[in-house]
A and B are shown apart, each in its own frame.
Chain A
Amino acid sequence: GQQLNQSPQSMFIQEGEDVSMNCTSSSIFNTWLWYKQDPGEGPVLLIALYKAGELTSNGRLTAQFGITRKDSFLNISASIPSDVGIYFCAGDSRNTGKLIFGQGTTLQVKP
């Protein structure tokens, strides 16, 4: 079945640093989504991408839909303590609503 490889698995950074994480797929996706999940809460949608090459920003967050349609990255600039959480990429190749999730990147920010 389809799989998403998300890396890195975890990151421990200093406040103010920039962060980058990415997801790769063995097959083509039509949609890439990035979610953030705080402990004990549901995932919150950060950015949705629908076109190959698309670059989208949401505040300090920037995400891109890879040209090959098999990868996506998320950048966070000037990290702050509230950026702490687990970030998941998710994709769909068939527009059925059945998302494939990456394994998540756990981000810790040291003040």
Chain B
Amino acid sequence: DTEVTQTPKHLVMGMTNKKSLKCEQHMGHRAMYWYKQKAKKPPELMFVYSYEKLSINESVPSRFSPECPNSSLLNLHLHALQPEDSALYLCASSQGRRGVSYNEQFFGPGTRLTVL
């Protein structure tokens, strides 16, 4: 299995809602990532988990809360979002060992989030 899966594919939420995005991989990768991508722009890194521990938080607002329940799963909990948070949210994974294999990141298809 060489896939990163994400659910849901589309999500519409109000500013007072609480929702979660889910990501799963079964490649045995130990590093997982959340990115935010606006239309026609490159992905922007939000969080990095390495061996189930949060290793990088790119100064993301607290209304985004990541969680890594185990080495195969990554969640992003959303609360009190703003309309400008509407974007494609991408999950990625990599082997997570420093050196050659750390940076080959494999992306999921993304969740298209719309905040009303």
**A→B interface (CB under 8 Å):** 31, 33, 35, 40-45, 48, 50, 86, 88, 90, 92, 95-99, 101-104, 106
* A97 and B94 form a contact (CB under 8 A): yes
* B45 and A40 form a contact (CB under 8 A): no
Chain B residues closer than 8 Å to A103, beta-carbon distance = 41-42
Task: List 14 A-B residue pairs with CB atoms under 8 Å apart, sorted by A's residue number.
Answer: A33-B105, A35-B107, A40-B112, A42-B90, A42-B109, A42-B110, A45-B106, A92-B102, A96-B55, A97-B50, A98-B56, A99-B103, A101-B42, A101-B43
* B107 and A98 form a contact (CB under 8 A): no
Q: Complex Cα distance A106/B56, Å?
A: 30
Contact with A along B49-88 (1 / 0, CB 8 A): 0100001100000000000000000000000000000001
Q: Complex Cα distance A104/B42, Å?
A: 7
Extra pairs beyond A42-B108, A48-B103, A97-B96 (4, CB < 8 Å): A40-B88, A50-B100, A97-B48, A101-B43
Q: How far is the CB of B21 from chain A (nearest CB, A)?
A: 13
Q: Complex Cα distance A106/B98, Å?
A: 32
Q: How far is the CB of B107 from chain A (nearest CB, A)?
A: 4
* B42 and A88 form a contact (CB under 8 A): yes
Chain B residue at minimum C-beta to C-beta distance from A48: B104
Q: How far is the CB of B39 from chain A (nearest CB, A)?
A: 10
